Structure 1
């Protein structure tokens, strides 16, 4: 009885140490985020409902309204199952972007799936940090000149700002 209790106590005591390893602060991102952060915090962000079809990439950031995962009816099951009590949504971009590397940045923590030509794309780079007002994570994806779908799931809030910008 004492051994399991001791193990549980040690694991609980170790939890803050693991949390402390997560980068904190705007200077902890792996690349400059000023452009993405400015887009994500701009007051004129367009508002999109989940399921929106966009003719082209937004010039700046958008705020995507999210709903419960069941209501979201994501076109592809997310690669990471959303937890109970979280929100999800998606938007499709029908006009093909110019082929190249794009940064997809989020104002809050959530899982992102980018689906193009029926396949989940893997990010070529990822960076994230807590305690940076306006931006939580940014990823770089290699997009081809074809329409794509952006899915967000596992968000704690019912909306998230998203910037999709050509990588510099």
Structure 2
């Protein structure tokens, strides 16, 4: 019994050396070259000097690049409850789009980490593709959505700052 305990403790003590000190799935990709597709156009839009500065709830048209003013989740009054509950101390907001110019794939990109809900016809749409990386100035995540030619809303929540840059562009 005592020998088994010593063997078990020895194996537990050597586990970090054998498997590394942190799980591999914990590390997020780092650097602009780690996105799954080229992000030059989206990154340029998110860092452009002529981005609109808009209040939460404002109307935008595609192509859109804006700095969205955010509020506490209670003050933001998101039109649809977000799929993920925002953490305390974070910010939220939304932008309305009267319509996508035509049905198709559109890219939604953000400057910093946030939960995104794209809502069309009362339904939260799932992204067709998602990519993100840390340590890439100006862009943190980008997603591709299949939109119908109709009105939709983009909601962001869980943002640590009170503004976020948003770009909505036709996908190539």
Is TM more than 0.5 here? yes
* In structure 2, distance between residues paired with 1:119 and 1:18: 31
TM-score (structure 2 length as normaliser): 0.85
* In structure 2, distance between residues paired with 1:121 and 1:14: 37
2:33 match: secondary structure: helix
Q: Residue 151 in 1 paired to residue 162 in 2?
A: no
Q: How many residues align?
A: 156
Which structure 2 segments of 5+ residues have no match? 1-8
2:167 match: secondary structure: strand
Cα distance, 1:53 vs structure 2: 2.5
Quickly say closer, same or farther: Cα 1:66–1:15, change in 2 above 3 A.
farther
CA deviation string 1:37-89 (max 9, x = no partner): 000000110011001123x22x3411100010000010100000000010000
1:53 aligns with 59
Decide which of 53, 67, 70 is 1:66's aligned counterpart.
Answer: 70
1:28 aligns with 34
Q: Is the 8 A contact 1:113 1:121 kept in 2?
A: yes
Larger of the two Rg values belongs to structure: 2
1:81 match: secondary structure: coil
Q: Is the 8 A contact 1:97 1:143 kept in 2?
A: no
* In structure 2, distance between residues paired with 1:16 and 1:135: 26
Q: Is the 8 A contact 2:100 2:147 kept in 1?
A: no
